[in-house]
Structure 1
Amino acid sequence: MFQSNVVEKCKANDRAAQLQLYRKYCDGMFVIANRFVKNADDAEDVLQESFIKA
Structure 2
Amino acid sequence: MNATLKLSGSTNDLPTLLALIAAKNGIAFVPASVCHFLPKGVKLISLELTQTGWDIAVV
Query: TM (normalized to structure 2)?
Result: 0.31
Query: TM (normalized to structure 1)?
Result: 0.33
Higher RCO, 1 or 2 (CA under 8 Å, sep at least 6)? 2
Which structure features the higher share of strand residues?
A: 2
Which structure features the higher share of helix residues?
A: 1
